[in-house]
Structure 1
């Protein structure tokens, strides 16, 4: 097992007892901090996956926070191969500590950054231009900062006598197999999501799993997919509405990541009251001298029930399905 470092050059490992105070600190920077805020909350409440959180050695005066790994699977399955980072947008000069961090982050190797605020990514690009190239996938964060729990009808009316149910562990394999970004997420994370978080599917009258959507380990609602033969039945909006309500009931802030050009998904979530808050980026950072063909961390597509495509939790218009 890879050793967990207690400190780097500029950062120290956070003790779990510190997490509630850090969550409260990040709440002052919502909505910009929503992904990191909800990741911490999900970790503390549900322990879906083992993450290791680091703050600057003089936190919170220099407010930069990291977690490793940034995603549950990377090409070499190394703990420090990917990370996530948050820094308040009015304190971005503190990211110089990231540039000079040479213990936790090996800038001479490919780095996989999970969804990161675009302003933070721009700052990283400024110094990384001297190291290598940046491969990016953009998305817009839409969410509900003041969600209201709606009255849920005792029965949800679904086309063709289908029904909506919490997923079971035996469904993890099919969801993972049909998840195009499965090189980034191992099947174990889907099993744990199903066990610990709201993960719902719509089942046909014959008992087939027709569509599904889950809450992720970083708090977002993602992996909305519908099998082709069950599309055009409104399953997407049913799942999105149902999961939004459940996420809210459990004390989380519902949010999704949508590709900027995806008017279909914007319309779907607008019906539920979601608003756009900021742009986010997933990126692969490759040093100039790195000539291998490592794969992972990039965007991959999957279809949902409304003729849109999701990019590992993002949704993107892809014409008629």
Structure 2
């Protein structure tokens, strides 16, 4: 096991670029770290430089107001299994949210048994991404809607937290505060300047937390904001991708219409240990 230093994180980003879209979630954390975005994770590999497992985990030298995800990209399941069962790369006494290849689900359950900790599979997601910016269609919204597009600020944290499927508690509040303070966001406001539809970017640079208040649905706001966010991410040199819940047919259709694609043979599983 090895903890990567800053110059090695730069190299790891270039390596994982070759394995997109399967490496997106760890790649996103690497990109943010290498572009000086606030990061409360560190990166672990089984060996260097020819690693088969790379993992993000909470930085043990920092205090955390929320628990960052443990993301895993792996080309050899047995190497990963050995690391999880025989090495102390994870603090098994704490709550551990994370994501990795969905094909590792059985192995993760086996690890939980050996470690005597609880395990839950939260959901399975599609990794959708924009392979080429030329695939992005031209915006179809007018200047009136565009004039209502702005960014979220800290006064909006409670609203976003209350409407987020996985929020509603202090942990969600702290996480959304972190995202709005440090990462891109887009929203459409009403005549009083209050957000009615929005999209954020997770700390691993995936677009997400998209939501429109019920009163304002069926106006095309989600498409407008997704389009605006894509343009902003492209301008900032960030990867353009999202994780879509397997059952969220509507969001998958929306991003497909924006030129996004996916590897149909691949899924990510989001999991929790020590629930």
Task: Provide the residue aligned with 2:107 in structure 1.
Answer: 123
Distance in 2 of aligned mates of 1:165 and 1:96: 45
- Taking the aligned partners of 2:228 and 2:139, their CA distance within structure 1 comes to 10
Question: In 2, Cα distance between the equivalents of 1:285 and 1:240?
Answer: 32
Q: Would you tell me which structure has more helix in proportion to its own residues?
A: 2
1:102, distance to aligned residue in structure 2 (A): 4.0
Query: What corresponds to 1:279 in structure 2?
Result: 267
Partner Cα distance (1:226, 1:261) in 2: 18
Unaligned runs of 5+ in 2: none
1:243 aligns to 2:229 (yes or no): yes
Q: 2: CA distance between counterparts of 1:230 and 1:187?
A: 24
SS class of match (2:134): coil
CA distance in 2, matches of 1:52, 1:221: 21
User: Any stretches of 5+ residues in structure 1 without a counterpart?
Assistant: 1-10, 71-75, 287-293, 295-321
Greater relative contact order (CA < 8 Å, ≥ 6 in sequence)? 2
Deviation track 1:27-55 (CA, whole Å, cap 9, x = no partner) reads 12111101110111012214233112222
Asked whether the equivalents of residues 149 and 248 of structure 1 are also in contact (C-alpha less than 8 Å), the reply is no
**2:197 equivalent in structure 1:** 211
Other structure's SS at 1:223 match: strand
The answer to whether structure 1 residue 222 and structure 2 residue 208 are counterparts is yes
CA distance change for structure 1 residues 21 and 45 in 2, over 3 Å: closer, same or farther? same
Q: How does 1:1-321 map to 2 (within 5 A)?
A: 11-56=1-46, 58-69=47-58, 83-88=70-75, 91-107=76-92, 109=93, 111-130=95-114, 131=116, 134-136=119-121, 137-148=123-134, 156-157=142-143, 163-182=148-167, 183=169, 185-277=171-263, 278-286=266-274, 294=275
Moved more, 132-141 or 274-283: 132-141
Deviation at 1:196, TM superposition (A): 3.4
Partner residue in 2 for 1:291: none
Task: Summarize deviations over 1:172-203 as a string: whole Å, max 9, x none.
Answer: 33323433423484544434433433201101
CA displacement, residues 140-175 of structure 1 (integer Å, 9 cap, x when unaligned): 11112333386976984456x971112233323332
Shift of 1:110: 6.2
SS at 1:283's partner residue? strand
Report how far residue 82 of structure 1 moved.
5.8
Q: Is the 8 A contact 2:135 2:259 kept in 1?
A: no
Q: 1:60 to 1:185 in 2, by over 3 A?
A: farther
Aligned length, in residue pairs: 266
Aligned-CA RMSD value: 3.1
Q: 8 Å contact 1:162–1:204 — kept in the other structure?
A: no
Equivalent pair of 1:147/1:254 in contact (CA under 8 Å): no
Q: Please give the TM-score of this superposition, normalised by the length of structure 2.
A: 0.82
Residues 51/172 of structure 1: CA separation in 2 closer, same or farther (3 Å cut): same
